[in-house]
Amino acid sequence: MRRKVDYHAVPHAVFTDPEVASVGLKEAEALKEFGSANVLIGFYQYQDTAKGEAMDVKDYFVKVLVERRGHAILGAHIVGPEASVLIQEIINLMYTKDRSVALQ
């Protein structure tokens, strides 16, 4: 049986200090393809989370690009400790039926 392979959410990571991990479109690509009015950009710093505070880390972040209509995740980027592990949570959402953060 032949099946088409779906490559929309293939991650990559750079194992530096700090780690860098990404999946999907970059911000410029998403804005070009969907238009700035149709892309929501979420940005959160590690230090603004309980885990980040416990780790006593600063200047690291998570950025998620979401299509305005339907809330499909277009891409995500993480810079900080354990980025290569944390990106998996976003990949799991990108492989759901609607590739979305929206609750059913």
CATH placement of domain 12-94: 3.30.390.30
The Cα–Cα gap between 18 and 6 comes to 29
State the pTM of this model: 0.88
Which DSSP category does 43 fall into?
E
Mean pLDDT of the chain, nearest integer: 92
Identify the band that residue 102 occupies on the pLDDT scale cut at 50, 70 and 90. Answer: low
Q: How far is CA 103 from the centre of its chain?
A: 17
